[in-house]
Structure 1
Amino acid sequence: MRTVSVAETAPSTYPWAVHAEKLQVRAGRHLAVNELDLRLGTGVHGLLGPNGAGKTTLMRALATVLKPAGGRLTLLGGEVTGRADLRQVRRGLGYLPQHFGFYPRFTVREFVEYIAWLKEMPKAVIPGAVQRAVERVGLADRADSRMKTLSGGMLRRAGIAQAIVNDPAVLLLDEPTVGLDPEQRLDFRELLREIGLDSCVLVSTHLVEDVAVACTDVVLVSEGRLVWQGSAGELAQQGGTDDAGDSATERGYSSLLRAHRGRVSA
């Protein structure tokens, strides 16, 4: 069990864990996120969109890796736009990028401990928090194995462990199921549901069915803009038999994208 502070148990004073208004974020010279409005609260939110839609750039901005070029971004009640000191906000975040770095000779336990230290977790609680995170992703039996010896799926699970070690209020996962086998994906979906009970979780993925099963809310973006937001059930109702896809959810996704592209080109 992790010892929590009085500040962590105090009631939240913000209506949304993530609140973006007319958000603009650049990826190099390209404006990858353009005038995006987004509000996310407690629950598991799936982030969908075609390649080049701006999903990864948005995730990096929410993780405070990229600085917004315009608009307003508020995380956990604190406005981060133009802010120099982001340490307090970052203590409440967990982030798994598509490609994360690590020291190959670190063990899994050492890697997660190192990230906990970077997140400025109290020294006394780190060992227990690390053990719990490793157990939650099913790597307890490999906790003392070096990172360089892990398979691709195990590396991904170690990445998830470092993202959740501080029990973040906002958890950002970019393509977290890459490399996971079907059984591991089922376990991961259950973990998402558990974390989403009292945290805001945003999962970027190309696997529409993962969103349909695990997410309470779906966010669809294209060309850096919000196209649609609603429940997974509502997404499944958006498509018809003529839309591309092997399931109702995929057909709804295809239908919404096609309608958006029609409006843009009109």
Structure 2
Amino acid sequence: MRAVSTTETAPDRYAWAVQAGGLRVRAGRHLAVDGLDLTLDTGVHGLLGPNGAGKTTLMRALATVVKPAGGTLAMLGTDVGGRGGDLRALRRSLGYLPQHFGFYPRFTVREFIEYMAWLKEMPTSLIPGAVQRAVERVGLTDRADSKMKTLSGGMVRRAGIAQAIVNDPRVLLLDEPTVGLDPEQRMDFRDLLRGIGVDSCVVVSTHLVEDVAAACTDVVLVDQGRLVWQGTPVQLAERGADGHAGDSASERGYSAILRAHRGSA
């Protein structure tokens, strides 16, 4: 069993769960995030933007997969870009579902999630119960002992969500989590997000504006690696008009904000 340090049990002393200032992050040689300023706290934050806007690169930086090339980034009070931060301790408090994730196909769903819990250094005695709760929350109870290679694409995605939430993360990062989910599963997923967002900071990167409008407390719109707009789903819908592209008020608001931003750039 892993000993719990005094640092982990000490009261939180950070102002924001996520705080970025002038953040710059490279994707290969390309500067995908360029001077982004962003603060996020408890709640469900929908990250929107066109292809190539820098969403996935930003998520990778928040997950501590890639280091910033410039600016500042703090997660739960830990400096991610500097040398002084304890990234190992921070990662125990993160949950991350990449857009594309790997797994051992011969693992069962339960074994896969148990393995990910072990990688997150969860206490051994807590893992079985945590895995069972995660499986139940994503609706895979009846497939918990099925091998990953036998699952449909949507089921694999739900297993990915389960591994991301198994440690009850204080910051949950989900990159395109609803890919492959049917409409009923997407509605269940929205309920799950709303529940997690009561006590945690959840960041969901997606192209589906309607998912953001239905599940998120906050909308973050990025383009060309910079913050374009931040507000509530209601405020997003109010920005749209009949002349803008989109099938819903939220989609029209999204189009209107992007068009105004590009017109002023």
Aligned partner of 1:64 in structure 2 is: 64
Q: Which residue does 2:107 correspond to in 1? A: 106
Indicate yes or no: 2:77 matched with 1:77.
Answer: yes
Within-5 A mapping of 1:56-205 = 56-83=56-83, 85-205=86-206
Measure how far apart 1:113 and its partner are. Answer: 0.4
The residue that corresponds to 1:35 in the other structure is 35
**C-alpha distance in 2, partners of 1:11/1:256?**
39
How far 1:11 moved relative to its partner?
3.5
Tell me what 2:260 maps to. Answer: 259
Please name the residue that 1:45 is paired with: 45
Whole-angstrom CA distance in 2 between matches of 1:8 and 1:80: 17
Classify the secondary structure of the residue corresponding to 2:211: helix
Aligned length, in residue pairs: 261
Give the drift of 1:5: 8.5
Q: Which residue of 2 aligns with 1:238?
A: 239
Unpaired stretches in structure 1, ≥5 consecutive residues: none
Task: State how far apart, in whole Å, the 2-side matches of 1:224 and 1:89 are.
Answer: 25
How much has 1:12 moved relative to structure 2?
1.9
- 1:263 positional shift: 1.2
Q: What is the 5 A alignment of 1:209-220? A: 209-220=210-221
Cα displacement string for residues 96-139 of structure 1 (whole angstroms, at most 9, x for unaligned residues):
00000000000000000000000000011001000100110000
What TM-score do the two structures reach when normalised by structure 2?
Answer: 0.96
> What is the alpha-carbon distance in structure 2 between the residues aligned to residue 189 and residue 7 of structure 1?
33
Is the Cα–Cα contact under 8 Å of residues 165 and 172 in structure 2 kept in the other structure?
Answer: yes
Kindly state the Cα deviation for residue 156 of structure 1 after the two structures are TM-superposed.
Answer: 0.2
The 2-side partners of 1:194 and 1:214 are apart by 10
Question: Are the aligned partners of 2:78 and 2:86 in contact in 1 as well (CA < 8 Å)?
Answer: no
Give the letter for the 2:49 counterpart: G
Q: How far apart in 2 are the matches of 1:241 and 1:107?
A: 49
Secondary structure at the counterpart of residue 187 of structure 2 = helix
Deviations 1:153-186 (A, max 9, x none): 0000000000000000000000000000000000
More displaced stretch, 78-87 vs 152-161 = 78-87
Q: Could you list the per-position Cα deviations for residues 27-56 of structure 1 after superposition, in whole angstroms to 9, with x for gaps in the alignment? A: 000000000000000000000000000000
Residues in 2 aligned to 1:6 and 1:127: alpha-carbon distance in whole angstroms: 25
Question: Contact 2:78 / 2:87 at 8 angstroms: preserved in 1?
Answer: no
Aligned equivalents of 1:247 and 1:7: distance in 2?
Answer: 46
> RMSD of aligned C-alpha atoms?
1.3
What letter is aligned with 1:53? A
Q: Which amino acid aligns with 1:63?
A: A
- State the secondary structure of the residue aligned to 1:131: helix
- Offset of 1:82 from its aligned partner? 2.8
Where structure 2 has 5 or more consecutive residues not aligned to the other structure, the ranges are: none
Q: State the identity %.
A: 79
In structure 1, what is the Cα distance between the partners aligned to 2:86 and 2:250? 41
Three-state SS of the structure 1 residue aligned to 2:15 is coil
